Amino acid sequence: MNPDVVIIGGGIQGCSTALHLALQGVETMVIEKNYCGRHASGVNAGGILRPGRYPVELPLSTAALKIWADAESLVDDNCGFRPIGRLKIAENDDEMQKLATRHALVHNLGYSHERLIDRAELRDLEPHIATHAVGGIHATGCGHADPFRTVSAFKHKALTLGVKFREGIRAEKISRNGSVWQVVTEDCVVEAPVVVNCAGAWGDRIARDMGETIPLSTIAPMLMITNRMPPIMRQRIGAVDRVLSIVQQPNGTVIIGGGYLGTADRDAETTSLDYSKLAFNARIACDMFPTLSDARIVRCWAGIEGAITDGLPVIGPSATEANAYHAFGFSAHGFHLGPVVGKILAQLITSGHCDIPIDAFRIDRFSADQG
C-alpha cells in the first residue's frame, strides 16, 4: 500500500516530519538505510542551544525550545531533556573583553537571554571551574537531551500513529512517474505523491535526483565520553577562542566535544579519528575543569554529518519539482531544531505555507552566486 508521503531518512528530521504529518492524518512512510538514529541524529552531543548560531534561525530555535520543554506531550517521553544553561567561559581578560563586545551586540539586537557574569558569579554557578577563569556569558533557555532516545521517541510515537518505517532499506533512486514520485529501493519501489528528503549527509544525492545541486560536504565532528564521575559540572561549558563544548549527563559521564573534525567515508559509513585533535580537546577541557584529569575516556567516536558552506541547513520545498521537500544539511546543529522542522515541513506539505520564515534556508540560495 503506497503512502501519501514518503520520507527518505530516519534521523530526527525524518522522524519528526513523519510524526507531524501523522498527527494530521497523512499516510506516511519513512525509508531508512540503517536504523533510525544510526548517524548524526543519534550520536551527537545533545546540545539544545539558543539563539542558534545565526539570527535567521532564531524563530526556529525559539519554537523548538517550546517543544523540547514539553516533549512529553508530543512523544510520550521527555527525551532526557534538561533545561541546563550554557556558559561561555573567558580564561583571560582579552577573552572577557571579546565576550563583553559580543554581549553588547546581542543585547542591542534585543535579545535578553544572555548575561555577562564575573568571576564570583561564575564560581557560584560552577564551583569546580578552574581558578584562572575570569568570567563568562551565561545563557538560559537552552538545554540538553539524549539524541538516540529522542529519535527513538519520535519514531515510536509516529509508529503508534500509523507511520510505516522501512529500516535497513536504502533509497537508491528517486524519479517522477507521472503525478507520483517513485523511490526505488533494494527491496521494492515505493510510490507516493509527495517525497521528503531528510537524508542528512546523503541529502545532496537525493536532491540531485530531483535536479538540484547544493554545496554539501561530509564532516565528522568528534566526541569523547568519560567514565561516570561525581557531579562536577552543571551547565554546558564552552570556551571563547578554543574548541570546547562539554556537558555532564545525569549518569555522571562527561561528553567532551566542541567541533574538532575527524574524517568520514560516507559510502563505507565509517569514520576515522584524529587523536591529536582529541588530545587538544581534552586539554582544553582539563584546563577548564581540573578534576577531569582523573577521568578515563571510555569511548571516542565521530558522527557523519552534512554541512552546507554557509552553515545553514536546507529546509523547504524543492526549487525544481512540485511536491518535493527538503530538510537536510544541518551542519552540526540539526538536533535541537528537529522537533520544529518536522512541524513546519508538515504544515508546508499539508497547507502550502508555514508559520515560521524559512526563506533563508532555500535550496537554491546558492544559484544566484553561481555563474
Partner 1 sequence: MFACRGRSSDNCVTIYIDDSAVIVPAAISVAGALLASGHNVFRRTPVTGSGRGAWCLMGSCFDCLVDIDGVKGCQACATTVREGMRISRPGPERCRTENVDPWGAGP
Partner 2 sequence: MKESRELVIIGGGPAGMSAAISASNCGVDVLLLDQREAPGGQIYRRVESPAVADPTLLGNDYLQGLNLVTLFRESTVDYRPDTVVWEVSPGREVYVYGGPGPGVIEARRVILATGAVERSIPVPGWTLPGVMTAGGAQSLIKNDGLLPEVPLVLAGTGPLLLLLACQYLDMGVEIAAVLETTPRSNLKRAMAHLPGAIMSGGYLTKGAGMLSRLRRARVRHVRGVEALRAVGSDHLQQIEFHAGGREHRLGASLLLLHQGVVPDVNLASAVGCALEWDSGSLCFKPSVDQWGNSSVEGVAVVGDGAGIVGADSAKWFGEMAGLDAACQLGYIGANARDTLAQKSRNLYRRSLGIRPFLEALYRPPDAYRIPVDPDVVICRCEEVTAETVRAQIGRGARDPNAIKSRTRCGMGPCQGRYCGLTLSEIIATETGQKISEVGYFRLRPPVKPVPISAILELATGEMPVETALPDPTVKPLS
What minimum distance in Å lies between the beta carbon of 225 and partner 1?
A: 5
Q: Is 197 in the site for partner 2 (CB under 8 A)?
A: no
Span of 99-107, 206-214, 293-301, 363-371 interacting with partner 1 by CB under 8 A: 293-301
Residue 272 near partner 2 by CB under 8 A: yes
Q: In sequence order, which residues have a C-beta less than 8 Å from that of residue 266 and are 6 or more positions away?
A: 201, 202, 218, 304
Phi/psi at 62 (5° precision): -60, -45
Per-residue mark of binding to partner 2, 153-182 (x: CB under 8 A): ---x--x-----------------------
| Angle, vertex CA 323, rays to CA 322 and CA 327, nearest 5 | 110
Contact 216, 306 (CB under 8 A): yes
Q: Is 299 in the site for partner 1 (CB under 8 A)?
A: yes
Q: Which of 51, 52, 147, 306 binds partner 1 (CB under 8 A)?
A: 147
Q: Which three cell numbers stand for residue 357?
A: 520564515
First to last CA, the chain: 44
Element (H, E) at 182: strand 180-185
**Shortest gap between Cβ of 153 and partner 1 (angstroms)?**
10
Q: How many residues bind partner 1 (CB under 8 A)?
A: 27
Residue among 201, 212, 203, 210 at smallest CA distance from 306: 201
DSSP assigned state of 291:
G
Instruction: Tell which one of 121, 130, 213, 301 touches partner 2 (CB under 8 A).
Output: 301
Q: Pairing state of beta strands 270-272 and 261-265?
A: antiparallel
> In angstroms, what is the C-alpha Rg of the chain?
21
Q: Phi and psi dihedrals of 285, rounded to 5?
A: -60, -45
Q: Which run of H or of E encompasses 220?
A: strand 216-226
Q: Please identify, using beta-carbon distances, which residue of 151 and 346 lies nearer to partner 1.
A: 151
Nearer to partner 1, 42 or 52 (CB): 42
Instruction: Write out the residues near partner 2 by the rule CB under 8 A.
Output: 35, 37-38, 42, 53-55, 88, 98, 102, 105-106, 109, 148-149, 152, 156, 159, 219, 221, 224, 226-227, 240-243, 251, 258-261, 270, 272-273, 275-280, 282-283, 286, 292-301, 305, 307, 310-311, 331-333
Instruction: Write out the residues near partner 1 by the rule CB under 8 A.
Output: 38, 42-43, 45-46, 80, 146-149, 223, 225, 227-231, 249-253, 255, 294, 296, 299, 301
